[in-house]
C-alpha cells in the first residue's frame, strides 16, 4: 500500500522542505573549528574540492581548498551553502512507518523493527510473486562503493534482475553513443585540455549554471585565442560572450551535426589519415550526410545558413579543438543519434586522443560517472562489464563466490520498471537516492504506479516527495557522514571523506543495505566493516574490465589528488587522456587506440527524426526544461537550504517578448502551461534570450510547481532516456495564482 497516507500539507508541515539558515554557532565570529576535512562537493559532476569546517560533530562552514587542481578553491553557490543541509530541522533521525492515523501520516519505528518489517515484506512479495517482483532503484549521487554494493545486493541478495538508477535520466544517451563509437563510456579528455583548444564547441550545455567552474576553463581558452561556438535555444551565460551562437530549434541537433559533416566533406576539411587508419564506417556516414546541404540544415535547425557555414569552417580548419555536450542534446528520443552525430564530426576531424584535442559529455550528477560503471545499471556488472556476456558473468560470479547461473539476467530501465509495476510484474520496491515523483516526466503516472505497489521502502535523509509514498522510510546518511570514492565527469576518481557522524538512528547507507541482507538471512557477501573493504572487493571485481580500478587505492587518490581510470595496476599512473598511443586498453590489446578488438573507432550513421511530440495547431509552443545555478536535481537538498531558495525561489517560465505579446502576457504574470499530460501554472519571465517558439522552465520543484507534470515520457529506443527537452504545449495567461500556490512556501 504505497500511497500518501495523508494530504501534502500535513506532511510538508512536519517533514518540509523547510528552509535552513545559519544560526547559533554558525553565526558566531572567531569559532575555531575542531578540524578541516578535505572532501568534495555533494552536488554536480565537477566534484569541486572543498574543506568542511567541523565543530562539535557539526559542519559549521567551509574553507576553500586551493590545492585541489580542478577548481583551486572555486565554488558555486551550492557548494558554498551545502553545509546547511547538516543539522537540518527536516533531517530524518528515525525510521518511519506509514500510518494514516498519525498526525503527519508517519509514525516513528525503532530502527531494528523497521529493518525486520522490510525483510518480511521483501520475503512476502518474492515468495508470492517470484524474485523479479521486487525491484531496486539506485542513484548516481551514491559513492561508487554504495552503487557497487546495491548492484550486488539486488543480483546476489535479492536475486532480482530489476535494478536500475536515476542516471537513466541523466547521460545514458551519451554513454550508449560513446560505447558504440569508442567502445568505452568516459570523457575522452581531462578538462585541462580545454585550455589548449583553438575551437570549443558546446552543444546543449548550460555550463555556467550547471557546471560553473568549467566556465573558467572555457573562458581562459578564449583569452588564449580560442573561438567558442555555442549551440542552444537560449542565450545562456556561457553563450553571452561566445564567438558564434547557433540558436538551434529544440530537438534538431542531429541535423546540425550532419550538416556540419556535409560541409567538412564538401570542403575537404577532413583528416584522411586518421579516418583511414583509426576508424571504420566513414563511407556510409558520408553517403548519409550528402542530403544535409546547408540549406536543408538551416531549414530544419532554424539556424541561419551563414552561421552553419561559419561554424563548419571554424571547426573544419581548426588545429586543435574540444567538443562537449550535456543533457541539451541527450534528453531526446534520438539522444543517442545526437551524440553519435557529435562524435562523427570529432572523428572526421581526427582531433581526439591528443593534447588539446578533446571530446566529452559533461556528466551531470556527482557520481554520474562512477555510479554508472559498477553494476547498478540494469544490464551491467562491475568494471563496466555486460551482464549478458558469459565471460563477464563468470568473472563477477567468481568474485562474489556464487555460480554464474545464480546471476539474474539483464533487467529493464527505470521507466519500463514503472510499466512493469502497471502490469503487476513488480510488486515491491526499494528506493535510494532517487526522487522520481519530481524528476521523471509525466509524473502523475509515476504517482499512480507507486500507489500500485504492495510494499515500498525508501532510504533517504529527508522526506522527499517520493518518500511520502513509502510504507517504510529508513534514515540514510548525508554525503558528509560517510566516506568512499566518486568519479568526476572527467574520469578522475576522488575520495569523499567523512566529516561528522550520522545523527539519531540514521545509518550509513551501505550499513542499511547490509542490515536488510542480514534480516533476510542472506548476509553472505554483505558483511563489510567499512567502505574501504567494499572498495577492495570492487577493485578485484573491476580488474580486467574496461572501467578498471584495480590499481587505485585510497592512499593513491589522496596523494595524487585523484586518479583517472583505467588504472590496471598499483604502479600505473592512471589515464587522464584516453585514446593515446600505448594507453591502457584491455580490448584492443595494442591494435589501436579505441576500445574495440581492431582498435578502431566507429562512425555511425545518425539519421534525423523529429521529436516524439512536435508542435501543432493545438499545442504550438515548444517546452524545454533544465536547471538553474542555485538548485540541484529534484531539490531534495537545495530546496531546504534557505539562501539557495532565496536566490531563485520558484520556477519561472522564460519566454520571448514576441511570444508573450501574442498572449498579452507581461513579466511576472501567472501563465498556465497546458500539455497533453498535465498542466502547470507559474509566473512568466519575459526575456529576449530565448527562441520565440520555445519556453523554458527549470525542473527542481515538486507538486503543482513541477514542470514534469507536463513533460513527455517518450524514450530513446537505445538509451531509454526520456525526452525532457522537447514537448508541445500551449500557454494561457491567468488572472491570479493557482490554488496550489496558496499556503505553501516557494520551495514546497
* By CB under 8 A, residue 56 contacts other proteins: no
* By CB under 8 A, residue 689 contacts other proteins: yes
Stretch that binds other proteins, among 7-15, 61-69, 379-387, 474-482 (CB under 8 A): 61-69
* By CB under 8 A, residue 271 contacts other proteins: no
Distance CA 235, CA 479 (A): 34
* By CB under 8 A, residue 28 contacts other proteins: yes
3-state secondary structure 377-445: CCCEEHHHEECCCHHHHHHHHHHHCCCHHHCCCCCCCHHHHHHHHHCCCCCEEEEECCCHHHHCCCHHH
* By CB under 8 A, residue 637 contacts other proteins: no
Distance CA 339, CA 42 (A): 27
For residue 684, count other CB atoms closer than 10 A to its CB. Answer: 23
212-231: contacts with other proteins (CB under 8 A): 212-213, 215-216, 219-220, 223
**Shortest Å, Cβ 87 to other proteins:** 16
* By CB under 8 A, residue 738 contacts other proteins: no
Distance CA 493, CA 388 (A): 27
200, 369 Cβ separation under 8 angstroms: no
- The residue from 45, 61, 476, 678 that contacts other proteins (CB under 8 A) is 61
* By CB under 8 A, residue 295 contacts other proteins: no
* By CB under 8 A, residue 76 contacts other proteins: yes
48 in helix, strand or coil? coil
Q: What share of the chain is helix, strand, coil (3-state, %, to 5)?
A: 35, 20, 45
* By CB under 8 A, residue 691 contacts other proteins: yes
CA torsion sign for 21, 25, 30, 35 is: negative
Stretch that binds other proteins, among 115-123, 232-240, 309-317, 708-716 (CB under 8 A): 232-240
* By CB under 8 A, residue 163 contacts other proteins: no
678, 444 Cβ separation under 8 angstroms: yes
**Shortest Å, Cβ 690 to other proteins:** 8
* By CB under 8 A, residue 237 contacts other proteins: yes
* By CB under 8 A, residue 21 contacts other proteins: yes
Cell numbers given for 497: 571523506
- The residue from 10, 77, 404, 738 that contacts other proteins (CB under 8 A) is 77
Residue with cell 506532511: 11
Q: Which is nearer to other proteins, 33 or 544 (CB)?
A: 33
Residue 143 C-beta-side C-alpha neighbours within 13 Å: 29
Q: How many residues bind other proteins, per CB under 8 A?
A: 59
Distance CA 686, CA 656 (A): 6
304-343: contacts with other proteins (CB under 8 A): 304, 307
Stretch that binds other proteins, among 179-187, 211-219, 270-278, 489-497 (CB under 8 A): 211-219
Q: Before 566, cis peptide (omega within 30)?
A: yes
- The residue from 488, 508, 630, 638 that contacts other proteins (CB under 8 A) is 630
* Pairing verdict, β 679-686 and 670-674: antiparallel
Q: Which is nearer to other proteins, 28 or 112 (CB)?
A: 28
Q: Which is nearer to other proteins, 433 or 489 (CB)?
A: 489
Cell numbers given for 247: 540558436
Stretch that binds other proteins, among 207-215, 257-265, 351-359, 452-460 (CB under 8 A): 207-215
Closest CA to 258 of 302, 282, 288: 288
* By CB under 8 A, residue 610 contacts other proteins: no
* By CB under 8 A, residue 664 contacts other proteins: no
Cell numbers given for 546: 574496461
CA torsion sign for 722, 724, 725, 729 is: positive
- The residue from 80, 280, 679, 741 that contacts other proteins (CB under 8 A) is 80
Distance CA 344, CA 476 (A): 43
- The residue from 657, 703, 704, 738 that contacts other proteins (CB under 8 A) is 657
* By CB under 8 A, residue 703 contacts other proteins: no
Taking residues 352 to 381 in sequence order and writing x for each that binds other proteins by CB under 8 A, - otherwise, the string is ------------------------------
- The residue from 40, 81, 372, 454 that contacts other proteins (CB under 8 A) is 81
* By CB under 8 A, residue 653 contacts other proteins: no
Q: Which is nearer to other proteins, 20 or 376 (CB)?
A: 20
Q: Which is nearer to other proteins, 79 or 702 (CB)?
A: 79
Residue with cell 563496466: 384
Long-range contacts (CB closer than 8 Å, 24 or more residues apart) made by 220-227 = 220/194, 220/195, 221/194, 221/195, 221/196, 221/197, 221/322, 224/195, 224/196, 225/198, 226/197, 226/198, 226/199, 226/200, 227/198, 227/199, 227/200, 227/314
Which residues bind to other proteins, rule: CB under 8 A? 21-22, 26-30, 61-62, 64, 66, 71, 73-77, 79-81, 208-209, 212-213, 215-216, 219-220, 223, 235-241, 245, 247, 302, 304, 307, 629-630, 643-644, 647, 656-658, 667, 685-693
Amino acid at each position: 500500500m504505497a500511497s500518501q497516507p495523508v494530504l501534502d500539507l500535513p506532511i510538508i508541515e512536519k517533514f518540509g522542505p523547510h528552509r535552513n539558515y545559519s544560526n547559533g554557532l554558525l553565526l558566531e565570529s572567531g569559532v575555531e573549528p575542531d578540524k578541516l576535512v578535505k572532501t568534495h562537493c555533494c552536488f554536480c559532476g565537477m566534484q569541486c574540492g572543498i574543506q568542511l569546517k567541523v565543530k562539535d560533530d557539526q559542519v559549521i562552514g567551509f574553507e576553500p581548498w586551493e590545492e585541489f587542481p580542478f577548481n583551486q578553491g572555486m565554488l558555486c553557490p551550492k557548494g558554498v551553502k551545502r553545509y546547511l543541509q547538516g543539522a537540518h530541522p527536516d533531517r530524518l533521525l528515525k525510521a518511519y512507518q506509514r500510518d494514516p492515523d498519525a498526525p503527519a501520516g508517519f509514525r516513528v519505528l525503532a530502527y531494528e523493527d523497521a529493518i525486520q518489517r522490510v525483510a518480511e515484506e521483501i520475503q512476502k512479495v518474492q515468495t508470492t510473486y517470484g524474485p523479479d517482483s521486487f525491484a531496486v532503484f539506485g542513484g548516481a549521487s551514491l559513492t561508487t562503493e554504495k552503487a557497487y554494493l546495491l548492484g550486488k545486493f539486488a543480483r546476489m541478495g535479492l536475486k532480482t534482475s530489476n535494478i536500475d538508477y536515476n542516471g537513466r535520466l541523466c547521460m545514458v544517451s551519451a554513454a550508449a553513443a560513446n560505447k558504440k563509437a569508442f567502445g568505452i563510456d568516459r570523457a575522452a579528455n581531462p578538462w585541462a585540455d580545454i585550455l589548449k583548444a583553438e575551437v570549443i564547441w558546446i552543444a546543449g550545455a548550460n555550463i555556467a549554471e550547471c557546471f560553473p567552474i568549467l566556465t573558467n576553463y572555457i573562458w581562459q581558452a578564449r583569452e588564449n585565442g580560442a573561438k567558442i561556438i555555442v549551440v542552444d535555444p537560449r542565450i545562456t551565460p556561457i553563450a553571452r560572450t561566445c564567438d558564434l551562437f547557433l540558436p538551434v530549434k529544440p530537438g534538431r541537433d542531429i541535423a546540425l551535426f550532419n550538416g556540419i559533416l556535409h560541409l567538412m566533406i564538401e570542403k575537404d576539411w577532413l583528416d584522411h589519415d586518421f579516418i583511414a587508419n583509426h576508424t571504420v564506417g566513414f563511407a556510409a556516414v558520408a553517403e548519409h550526410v550528402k542530403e544535409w546541404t546547408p540549406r536543408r540544415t538551416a531549414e530544419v535547425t532554424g539556424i541561419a545558413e551563414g552561421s552553419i557555414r561559419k561554424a563548419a569552417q571554424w571547426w573544419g580548419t581548426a588545429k586543435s579543438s574540444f567538443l562537449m555536450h550535456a543533457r541539451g542534446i541527450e534528453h531526446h528520443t534520438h539522444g543517442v543519434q545526437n551524440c553519435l552525430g557529435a562524435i562523427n564530426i570529432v572523428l572526421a576531424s581526427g582531433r581526439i586522443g591528443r593534447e588539446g584535442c578533446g571530446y566529452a559529455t559533461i556528466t551531470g550528477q556527482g557520481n554520474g560517472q562512477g555510479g554508472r560503471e559498477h553494476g547498478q545499471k540494469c544490464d551491467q556488472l562491475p568494471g563496466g562489464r555486460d551482464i549478458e556476456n558469459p565471460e563477464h558473468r563468470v568473472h563477477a560470479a567468481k568474485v562474489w563466490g556464487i555460480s554464474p547461473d545464480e546471476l539474474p539476467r539483464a533487467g529493464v530501465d527505470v521507466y519500463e520498471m514503472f510499466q512493469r509495476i502497471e502490469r503487476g510484474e513488480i510488486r515491491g520496491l526499494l528506493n535510494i537516492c532517487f526522487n522520481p515523483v519530481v524528476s521523471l516526466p509525466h509524473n502523475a503516472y509515476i504517482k499512480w504506479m507507486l500507489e500500485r505497489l504492495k510494499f515500498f521502502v525508501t532510504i533517504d535523509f529527508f522526506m522527499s516527495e517520493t518518500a511520502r509514498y513509502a510504507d517504510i522510510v529508513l534514515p540514510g546518511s548525508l554525503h558528509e557522514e560517510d566516506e568512499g570514492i566518486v568519479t568526476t565527469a572527467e574520469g578522475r576518481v576522488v575520495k569523499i571523506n567523512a566529516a561528522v557522524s550520522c545523527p539519531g538512528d540514521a545509518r550509513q547507507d551501505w550499513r542499511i543495505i547490509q542490515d536488510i541482507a542480514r534480516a533476510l538471512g542472506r548476509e553472505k557477501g554483505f558483511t563489510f566493516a567499512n567502505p574501504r573493504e567494499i572498495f577492495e572487493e570492487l577493485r578485484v571485481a573491476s580488474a580486467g574490465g574496461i572501467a578498471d580500478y584495480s590499481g587505485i587505492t585510497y592512499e593513491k587518490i589522496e596523494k595524487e589528488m585523484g586518479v583517472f581510470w583505467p588504472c590496471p595496476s598499483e604502479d600505473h599512473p592512471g589515464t587522464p587522456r584516453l585514446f593515446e598511443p600505448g594507453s591502457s586498453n584491455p580490448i584492443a590489446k595494442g591494435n589501436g587506440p579505441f576500445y574495440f578488438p581492431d582498435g578502431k573507432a566507429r562512425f555511425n550513421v545518425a539519421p534525423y527524426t523529429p521529436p516524439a511530440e512536435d508542435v501543432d495547431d493545438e499545442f504550438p509552443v515548444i517546452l524545454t526544461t533544465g536547471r538553474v545555478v542555485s538548485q540541484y536535481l529534484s531539490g531534495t537538498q537545495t530546496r531546504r537550504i534557505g539562501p539557495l531558495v532565496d536566490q531563485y525561489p520558484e520556477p519561472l517560465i522564460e519566454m520571448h517578448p514576441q511570444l508573450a505579446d501574442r498572449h498579452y502576457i507581461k513579466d511576472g504574470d501567472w501563465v498556465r502551461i497546458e500539455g497533453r499530460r498535465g498542466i502547470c501554472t507559474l509566473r512568466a519571465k519575459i526575456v529576449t534570450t530565448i527562441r520565440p517558439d520555445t519556453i523554458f522552465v527549470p525542473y527542481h520543484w515538486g507538486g503543482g510547481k513541477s514542470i514534469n507534470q507536463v513533460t513527455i515520457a517518450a524514450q530513446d529506443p537505445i538509451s531509454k532516456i526520456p525526452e525532457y527537452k522537447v514537448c508541445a504545449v500551449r500557454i494561457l495567461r491567468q488572472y491570479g495564482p493557482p490554488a496550489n500556490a496558496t499556503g505553501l512556501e516557494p520551495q514546497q
